Amino acid sequence: MSLGIKRNIPLIDQHDKNFMYGGKFGGNFIPETLKKPIDDLTILFAKLRKEKKFLYQRDHYFKNYIGAPTPFIKLENLTDHLGGAQIYAKVVSEANGGAHKIYNATVHCLIAKKAGKKYIIGDTGAGYAGKMLSMAAKEFGLKCKIFMGAKDIKRQRPNVEAIKKNGAEIVPVTTGSQTLVDAVSECMRYWVSNCDTTHMCVGSTVGPNIFIKICAWSTAQISRELMQQVKEEFGKIPNKLKLINCVGGGSSAAGFWNEFMNTHAEFIGVEAGGPKNSKLHAAPLTNGSKIGILHGAAQYVIQNKEGQIGSTESISAGLDYPGISPLHCFLKDAKRAKYTSASDEDALKAYQLVSKLENISPSLEPSHAFAEAIRIAPKLKSSEVIIVNSCGDSLKDKDIIKQKLGSYIR
Amino acid sequence: MKSKIALAFENCKKENRSALITYTVAGDNTKNNSFKILNKISKHADILELGFPHNTPIADGGQIQGSSHRALKNGIKLKDVFQIVKKFKKTNSSKPLILMGYYNLIYQSGENNFIKNCKLSGVDGLIIVDLPYPENKNFANKCKKKGINFVQLLSPTTSRERMKKIIKDSHDMIYYISMLSTTGGKLKVSPKKILENYNKIKRINPKKNLVIGFGITDKTISSLKSANGLVVGSLLCKTITNSLKMRQNPVTKLDKVVYNLKRKIT
């Protein structure tokens, strides 16, 4: 069965009555206790996104708190160095806090206020989702708890410190692989027990349907800005345009592509391929993983034959997740986006090259996207345009980069 | 023909007592021990729930997570779970046994194939934690057609309108989650309040067998004994954990604990 994307319907709304995209991805595979809180949130969000006042508030915070629009720049040196396509970057890492996670965090805090909740909880992998949620929670006067895998707490120290500084409590998760997948599970378990007083923010376009919707609706700001910036730069959408984005859960890519859905722009998603000589990876789309249920939604997910969720490995904590947003599963099956992967080594090299040549220094997550851009740019004509979403700053990865490359440049 | 689950409730009603329902995890702490445990505790328990472990559970507390982890570390697979059931049913054919777990394992093995294996091994019912109503309608109907009970869940957050629909479509047993919690949480609502909610649900259809679970231990069980059935799970998982720590035999330990629970509600 071929899945079609309907025109004129926002991507997040292209599900059936069971909240499934293309009849196979997403849904709400949740315990009975969460049915009502999720229904309530679904109704509230449907109402809010139509309200002028709410949209005004969102835009106000996006502009004055997050700092919209983030810059759109040409990477002249990288383009010259590679000698092919024109390479641009949307420098989303210039947003307040240093990554795209601030959009989702801000919108969730706005919603939590409207719902009359005093507490907010969230999961985090790279620490960005947690850092931004703790920041936004502080801004909005909400008490905040962040669930983070013990392994990630060790490898993402700068963000951990930021979370604490913002006054949020970090709950270390010591079950399973002690990374993002377990942090999301633990956060959901906490919500099951406290859903009457507490709002939950899922850190990416994963989880039960409503969380996918809120997140992608929030990050869509990236492509709203980009559409305007592209038209200003080129006078139109270039005939050959590739939008390259890393994908872990898939929140930045969903936001980066959203406004271009009905254009001829090509979408390339880059998953985490893991270490070169390892069988482990975090790339379910590239490696043909089967559909399974993870964290309340059907998606392509790394798992064994029985359905036990598999281990992943990536140098980038933010991409180190066995599943992938149902939205991206849908885009893949509908052939609207292409997905590939970059290895840890490729990402490190890309970080190094971009940081050396340009004024930006991407974190290890967008370095995966840069790796793909660097790989294909020399093969393309100079009339072609590549835009990479530089959705995070390398500062948080200082320790890992130093350890792997011997030195850190920014 | 009446199901074994329905008959178990009838027997308890005749004896004017609540049904004791136990939950243990298949393969905890070994495949053979989990079989021996079922065999032993079935002398005291009226219905047995057997968990098929999943490594990403979103509704289980620490104790059951620990048991599942032990079982998975031992390499327990679905085929082992069905073997345990089959072996148990050979000598305990009338004792109802319910499998409990998460949907992905069923999804991967295929709904029809899973139901077939339930049938072949003698499973009487299923509780699927993350397949709520109405999404579970299709699967629940498939189960019913094959004579397997699909146990619907209700929680304190379930609205009255929703409860009515769920109860209408339910089979021989309904599971009421006592409070907002993962399994094994401390009982944070008074037994009196839980029974109040329980009675409200019962009034919707008094004929339905309604059991209470989550947070029930040897300390709280007697205060809830007016319910049709009471589920104890985390306490049993904890008992296994502790007996392993103390180098005691989990099988005999569990036998004592379940015997004691039974005594408290009769």
pLDDT tens track for A247-256: 999 999 999 9
Q: Is B111 a catalytic residue?
A: no
pLDDT (average), residues B82-91? 98
Those residues whose C-beta lies under 8 Å from the C-beta of residue A255, and which sit 6 or more positions away, are A100, A103, A216, A218, A219, A220, A221, A222, A223
pLDDT at A4 over 90: no
Out of B10, B28, B46, B60, which one is annotated catalytic?
B60
CB atoms A296 and B132 under 8 Å: no
C-alpha torsion sign, points A198, A199, A202, A203: negative
Encode pLDDT of A88-100 as tens digits.
999 999 999 999 9
CB atoms A31 and B162 under 8 Å: no
Per-domain residue ranges of chain A: 29-61+101-215, 67-98+220-405
Best residue of B52, B54, B56, B193 to probe chain A, by most A CBs closer than 10 Å:
B56
Encode chain A in three state secondary structure: CCCCCCCCCCHHHCECCCCEECCCEECCCCCHHHHHHHHHHHHHHHHHCCCHHHHHHHHHHHHHHHCCCCCEEECHHHHHHHCCCEEEEECHHHCCCCECHHHHHHHHHHHHHHCCCCEEEEEECCCHHHHHHHHHHHHHCCEEEEEEEHHHHHHCHHHHHHHHHCCCEEEEECCCCCCHHHHHHHHHHHHHHHCCCEEEECCCCCCCHHHHHHHHHHHCHHHHHHHHHHHHHHCCCCCCEEEEEECCCCHHHHHHHHHHCCCCCEEEEEEECCCCCCCCCECCCCCCCCEEEECCEEEECCECCCCCECCCCCCCHHHCCCCCCHHHHHHHHCCCEEEEEECHHHHHHHHHHHHHHCCCCECHHHHHHHHHHHHHHHHCCCCCEEEEECCEEHHHHHHHHHHHHCCCCC
Domains in chain B, CATH or no CATH each: 4-265 (3.20.20.70)
Give the model's pLDDT for residue A176.
Answer: 81
pLDDT at A309 over 90: yes
| CATH number for the domain running over A29-61+101-215 | 3.40.50.1100
What's the mean pLDDT when you consider all of chain B?
A: 97
For residue B180, give the chain A residue with the closest CA: A193
pLDDT (average), residues B234-243? 97
Give the model's pLDDT for residue A2.
Answer: 47
Out of B49, B124, B172, B255, which one is annotated catalytic?
B49
Encode pLDDT of A47-76 as tens digits.
999 999 999 999 999 999 999 999 999 999
Encode pLDDT of A340-353 as tens digits.
999 999 999 999 99
Best residue of A189, A291, A294, A301 to probe chain B, by most B CBs closer than 10 Å:
A189
ipTM of the complex: 0.96
Query: Which of 3.40.50.1100, 3.40.50.620, 3.20.20.80, 3.20.20.450 is the CATH number of A67-98+220-405?
Result: 3.40.50.1100
Q: Is B80 a catalytic residue?
A: no
pLDDT (average), residues A266-275? 98
Encode pLDDT of B138-183 as tens digits.
999 999 999 999 999 999 999 999 999 999 999 999 999 999 999 8
Residues of A in contact with B108 (CB under 8 A): 290, 292, 303, 305-307
Residues B218 and A57: their CA atoms lie apart, in Å, by 52
How many angstroms away from the CA of A196 is the closest CA of chain B? 8
- Does the fold of domain A67-98+220-405 match that of domain A29-61+101-215? yes
For residue A322, give the chain B residue with the closest CA: B56
pLDDT at A234 over 80: yes
Encode pLDDT of A17-50 as tens digits.
999 999 999 999 999 999 999 999 999 999 999 9
What end-to-end distance do the CA atoms of chain B give, in Å? Answer: 28
What's the mean pLDDT when you consider all of chain A?
A: 96
Give the model's pLDDT for residue A3.
Answer: 61
Residue with the larger pLDDT of the pair B239 and A175: B239
Residues A167 and A65: their CA atoms lie apart, in Å, by 18
